[in-house]
């Protein structure tokens, strides 16, 4: 067996962190303790695995090690006064760290049977603000770093760190129970849950940092959660819209990178590589969602992706239709990021000058995508010097190796034109 290096262990961390935390939270009812125990287990793996090798079941090893560490800690810290309370927690912890997913607590009539989906709904408690719900769940379930979450929210890292700390303090001070919501409570938490699943998917499809452009495990996990949500709430159009959106975007993944992992623009995709089965499934869910005649943000975003999916070639894309859909999306969910994406589509209809006028009014200076799009528009306008400066701004703000390489090639190509 090859000796694993830190990168290999990091991949296991990315794949299994959320699952391990979810299992421990379910049985020990303490987010901080669960997260610390899982982190300790991975620290132990960094020491042991390079010499002993990766175990046959890395996920089982991590959960078992974390669970044992947590039990040992509770035993050490239990005082005479709370020894009985701590003992009840220990004996409540299952001997099997991977219980049957169909197993439910006798005192809980929840319809949520999946540990990770269970934890998402738990974190999305109405006592927490929507942004805090999403940020905390991304940290716990997606295993995203504070910096990655901050970039997803287009916020400084220090601000996001404070937000995560406040969310955990709120859970403790408000004594929010780590219980699964009853069926009647699920709709009130759905908005935050959908946002979490979509942000996990986005991080998987366009990783904000690291050596890989795509993190397959996050794409798979978010689609899996989307399918579970559809089973849980089959008549909810936004659930169907989100699942359709993810499937339509996922269908293009094989064409999104070269054999060496380099980024390929959507307009340059080899569309023969698109997964037609995923496209058909996504379009089916989108049609089912639109039949409810309650269009929401995810349905509209899925409709935009459907227009791309139905174009046999980039030149056949119905850009006026996409602009119209973005206008509807801005009506129901106004945001500078959506306005930025609309400007990209507008450039194909009215030209780069019209799009540049719009994006120069957006407060997105911390976003590398903002500068990358601006650079491309300037390039198309023949303003090579300004485009090069914008590319430099984008490169400075991107922490993904593949994206930086793509941006550098685009900038360097300016001198050849």
pLDDT tens, 115-142? 777 777 777 887 887 778 878 877 877 6
pLDDT tens, 188-235? 788 888 988 898 888 877 776 666 767 777 788 889 889 988 988 888
With tokens 């220990």, the residue in question is 90
pLDDT for position 104? 37
Helices and strands (H, E) in the chain, number of each type:
20, 2
Give the pairing type, strands 399-400 and 209-210.
parallel
Q: Tokens standing for 48?
A: 């042991």
DSSP H helices, 78-127, are 83-92, 115-123
With cut-offs at 50, 70 and 90, classify the pLDDT of residue 25: confident
At 102, give phi and psi (nearest 5°). Answer: -85, -10
With tokens 């699943």, the residue in question is 197
pLDDT tens, 251-294? 999 999 888 888 899 999 999 999 999 999 999 999 999 999 99
Instruction: Note the pTM of the prediction, 2 decimals.
Output: 0.76
pLDDT tens, 373-388? 999 999 999 999 999 9
The Cα–Cα gap between 7 and 15 comes to 12
pLDDT tens, 352-406? 999 999 999 999 999 999 999 999 999 999 999 999 999 999 999 998 888 999 9
Percent helix, strand and coil across the chain, each to the nearest 5: 70, 0, 25
- The string of DSSP letters for 236-283 reads -HHHHHHHHHHHHHHTTHHHHB-TT--B--GGG--GGGS-HHHHHHHH
Contact 207, 400 (CB under 8 A): yes
With cut-offs at 50, 70 and 90, classify the pLDDT of residue 178: low
pLDDT tens, 305-351? 999 999 999 999 999 999 999 999 999 999 999 999 999 999 999 99
With tokens 């916020």, the residue in question is 155
With cut-offs at 50, 70 and 90, classify the pLDDT of residue 82: low
The per-residue pLDDT of the chain, averaged, comes to 84
pLDDT for position 87? 46
């Amino acid at each position: 067996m090859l000796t694993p290096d830190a990168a290999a262990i990091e991949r296991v961390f990315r794949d299994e962190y959320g699952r391990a935390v979810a299992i421990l939270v379910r049985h020990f009812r303490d987010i901080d303790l669960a997260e610390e125990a899982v982190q300790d287990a991975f620290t132990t793996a960094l020491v042991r695995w390079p010499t002993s090798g990766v175990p046959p079941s890395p996920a089982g090893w991590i959960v078992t090690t974390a669970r044992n560490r947590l039990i040992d800690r509770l035993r050490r810290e239990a005082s005479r006064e709370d020894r009985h309370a701590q003992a009840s927690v220990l004996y409540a912890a299952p001997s099997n760290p991977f219980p049957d997913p169909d197993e439910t607590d006798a005192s809980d009539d929840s319809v949520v049977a999946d540990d990770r989906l269970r934890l998402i709904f738990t974190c999305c408690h109405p006592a927490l603000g929507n942004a805090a719900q999403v940020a905390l769940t991304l940290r716990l379930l997606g295993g995203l770093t504070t910096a990655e979450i901050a970039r997803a929210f287009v916020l400084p890292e220090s601000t996001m760190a404070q937000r995560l700390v406040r969310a955990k303090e709120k859970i403790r001070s408000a004594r929010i129970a780590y219980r699964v919501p009853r069926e009647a409570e699920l709709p009130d938490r759905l908005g935050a849950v959908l946002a979490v699943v979509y942000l996990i998917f986005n991080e998987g499809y366009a990783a904000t940092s690291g050596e890989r452009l795509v993190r397959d495990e996050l794409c798979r996990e978010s689609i899996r959660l989307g399918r579970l949500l559809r089973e849980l709430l089959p008549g909810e159009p936004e659930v169907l819209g989100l699942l359709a959106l993810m499937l339509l975007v996922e269908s293009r993944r094989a064409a999104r990178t070269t054999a060496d992992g380099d980024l390929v623009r959507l307009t340059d995709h080899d569309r023969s590589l698109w997964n037609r089965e995923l496209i058909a499934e996504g379009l089916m869910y989108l049609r089912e969602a639109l039949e409810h005649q309650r269009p929401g943000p995810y349905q509209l975003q899925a409709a935009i992706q459907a227009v791309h999916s139905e174009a046999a070639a980039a030149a056949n894309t119905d850009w006026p239709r996409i602009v119209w859909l973005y206008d509807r999306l801005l009506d129901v969910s106004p945001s500078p990021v959506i306005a930025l994406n609309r400007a990209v589509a507008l450039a194909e209809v009215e030209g780069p000058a019209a799009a540049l006028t719009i994006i120069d009014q957006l407060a997105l200076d911390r976003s590398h995508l903002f500068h990358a799009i601006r650079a491309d528009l300037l390039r198309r306008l023949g303003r090579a010097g300004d485009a090069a400066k914008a590319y430099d701004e984008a490169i400075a703000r991107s922490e993904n190796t593949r994206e930086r390489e793509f941006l550098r090639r685009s900038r360097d190509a300016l001198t050849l034109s």
